[in-house]
Amino acid sequence: MAAGDGRGDPVLVHQLTEKAPESVQWLKDHGVKFQDHIYQIYGGLYKRARNPIGPRGGAYIKALLEVCKKEDIPILYNTRVVEIIREHQLSGRVLGVKVEQKGGKTLYLRATNAVVAASGGFAANDRLTAISDPRMGQLGTTNHPGATGDVLTDLIDIGAGTRGLDYIQCIPGGVPGEKHAPNLFTHVDRFLFVNLDGKRFIKEDARRDVLRDAMLDQPKAIAWTIVDADGFEQQKNSKGPENEAALKAGTLYYADSIEDLAKKIGVPANNLKEAVDTYNKAVDTNKDPLGRAEGVLVNKIIKAPFYAGRVTMKRHHTMGGVIINKDAQVIDRRGNVIPGLYAAGEVTGGIHGTNRVGGNAMADIFTYGRIAGVNAAKNPA
C-alpha cells in the first residue's frame, strides 16, 4: 500500500499478500521448480523475489503448457480477440468472444461459464501510454509487441470501469538503435547507476517510479550500469543469455580497471573512480551518501573485470486497467458487476496503486488468475 502511495484497493492488496504464498505452492504442484536464491530485485524494496529454474517467464509457461496438454485444455495460437460479446452493449451478460485467426478466418466462441480477460497491459502501445503520460510516447518498451491493450479497449467498449491508466512504470532497457541490450541491474545489491558524466545520481534501491524520474532527468535520459566480476556472475541466474548476446553485439563493455572501463564507455575516469570508491567506502561504513539501505549495501565493486551497460528508461508495466472486485469480477463504470466477465493480471487496475513493487507482477497474475478461474468455474451461464 505504501509503495503505491495508498492508491491500491486495500481489499485487493490484502488478498494478494495473503494468497501469494499459495500461488507459489500451486506453481510447485504444477511442475515449476524454483531456485533456492531469494533476492531483492530491481524496484523490489526488500529481499523477496524468487526465480524459477530456467528462463523466468518461459519456465512457468513450459510447466503450465504440460498441464494443459494433460488436462486436454485447447489453446488457440495466432488468434486475436477482436470483440467481447455482451447481450447489450452496456448491459446484460457477457456471452463470449469474436476472434480472428491468422489468414483472416473469424470465429465466435461461446462462453459456457464466463470469459476471463488475462491479456496483459498496454506498455507496447505508444499512443495509449502517451495519452495518459506524454513522457511515455517516445520511450519504447521492454514488452513483447502484443502488449497493446486491445482487449482492455474491448472491455471499455462494453462498459467496464477503469482506474489508474496514467500509472505507467518504466525500467532500464537498451538505448534506441542498440540491438541486444545488456541487463546488469536485476540484483540491486550488485550494481551502480552513473550518468554520462560518470557520477551516481540516485540510490539504486529506490522505488521504480523514483528511479524512472531520476533517469529521465539525466543528460539524454541515459545512464550506465556498473558491476564487477562477481556481480556479472550473479546476473547469470536470470539474465545470462541476454548479457552473452550483448557482449557479442558490443553493447556490453568490460575492462580490468575502472579507469580503463571509463575510457571505453566515454565518461571521465576520475568521476567514475570516485563514484565506485565512494560506494565501496559506504559498504564499509554502512552509510551511503545517496541513502542506499544497509541491506543492499553489502557487496563492493572491486573484482576485475568490471562491466558496464548503457541504458535508458523503457515502458515496462501499466498499473491501471479495468476495475475488479475480490472475486476478480469486472465492475462497470456505475459500480455494478458485469455478469459472466472476470479479469486478472495487468489488464486490471487497483492492486499496485501508483507504483508496482518489483516481483509483484508474478504474484498478481498467478494469485488473481487462480481466483478468476475458480470463480468462473463455479458460475455457469
pLDDT for res 35: 92
Provide the pLDDT confidence category of residue 37 given band limits of 50, 70 and 90. confident
Q: What are the two backbone dihedrals, phi and then psi, of residue 344, each rounded to the nearest 5 degrees?
A: -155, 150
pLDDT for res 292: 97
State mean pLDDT over 307-318.
Answer: 96
- Residues in a beta bridge with 317: 169
Share of the chain above pLDDT 90, in %: 89
pLDDT for res 376: 96
pLDDT for res 241: 87
The answer to whether 136 and 130 have CB atoms below 8 angstroms apart is yes
* Active-site annotation, residues: 208
Provide the pairing of β-strand 252-255 with 168-173: unpaired
Output the pTM of the full model: 0.89
pLDDT for res 237: 72
pLDDT tens-digit series, residues 201-212: 999 999 999 999
pLDDT for res 381: 61
On average, the pLDDT of the chain sits at 95
Provide the pLDDT confidence category of residue 179 given band limits of 50, 70 and 90. confident
Share of the chain above pLDDT 70, in %: 100
pLDDT for res 176: 87
Q: Could you give the CA distance from residue 235 to residue 133 in angstroms, rounded to a whole number?
A: 32
Q: Could you give the CA distance from residue 14 to residue 134 in angstroms, rounded to a whole number?
A: 32
Q: Could you give the CA distance from residue 131 to residue 142 in angstroms, rounded to a whole number?
A: 19
Q: What are the two backbone dihedrals, phi and then psi, of residue 222, each rounded to the nearest 5 degrees?
A: -125, 145
Q: What is the largest CA-CA distance in the chain?
A: 69
Crossing angle between the packed helical segments 258-265 and 269-285, to the nearest 10 degrees: 130
State mean pLDDT over 21-25.
Answer: 96
pLDDT tens-digit series, residues 98-137: 999 999 999 999 999 999 999 999 999 999 999 989 999 9
pLDDT for res 374: 97
pLDDT tens-digit series, residues 133-148: 999 998 999 999 999 9
pLDDT tens-digit series, residues 220-278: 999 999 999 999 998 887 788 889 999 999 999 999 999 999 999 999 999 999 999 99
State mean pLDDT over 44-59.
Answer: 89
Q: What are the two backbone dihedrals, phi and then psi, of residue 289, each rounded to the nearest 5 degrees?
A: -55, -25
Domains and CATH numbers, the chain: 79-167+319-378 (3.50.50.60), 172-315 (3.90.700.10)
pLDDT tens-digit series, residues 71-102: 999 999 999 999 999 999 999 999 999 999 99
Compute CA distances 257 → 96, 191, 201, 223, 260, whole Å: 61, 16, 22, 19, 5
pLDDT for res 54: 86
In sequence order, what DSSP letters do the residues of 330-379 get, joined into one string?
A: EEBTTS-EEEEEEE-GGGEESSSTTSPPTTHHHHHHHHHHHHHHHHHHH-
pLDDT for res 170: 95
